[in-house]
Structures are given as C-alpha cells and as structure tokens.
Amino acid sequence: MITRMRGFTLIETLLALAILAVLSAAAVMVLQNVIRADGLTLEKSQQIAALQRAFRQIADDVTHIIPRHARN
C-alpha cells in the first residue's frame, strides 16, 4: 500500500499568497480613503463650529440692541 503525503503544492501556496496580497492592497486603499474622509470631516466640523459661534454672537448682539429715539 502506497501512502500519499498530504499538503499544499507550491502553486497552491503561491496562488493563496497572491490572493492575500491583492486583498491586503485593497484593504490598505480603503483604509487610506477612510482616514482621508475622517480628516475632511474633522475640518468641516471645525468650520461649522466657528460659523455657529459667529451666528450666536450676532444673535446675541442683535438681542441686546438698545433702541434709539430718532431726532427731528
């Protein structure tokens, strides 16, 4: 009776390695896009916060206006 050794061939191992490399490259690209989007989101949220502060200041200024009587 002949016993056959079990295991992966060189071609199977190289193919699995190539698939892993392609998937890893795709994952890196997705991660870079996520990091870039996070930076843009942070920048935009800071701009919105600055605008909200300005609008609050304007609203506060308008609320505290003292009416002046017109001179004839």
Paired tokens of 61: 């200024």
pLDDT 10s digits, 8-61: 999 999 999 999 999 999 999 999 999 999 999 999 999 999 999 999 999 999
* Distance, CA of 32 to CA of 34 (rounded, Å): 5
Q: What three-state secondary structure class fits 43?
A: helix
The predicted structure's pLDDT at residue 71: 75
The predicted structure's pLDDT at residue 7: 87
Higher pLDDT, 66 or 47: 47
Residues 6+ apart with CB under 8 A from 16: 8
The predicted structure's pLDDT at residue 72: 66
The closest of 2, 20, 4, 24 to 12, measured between CA atoms, is 20
Higher pLDDT, 68 or 23: 23
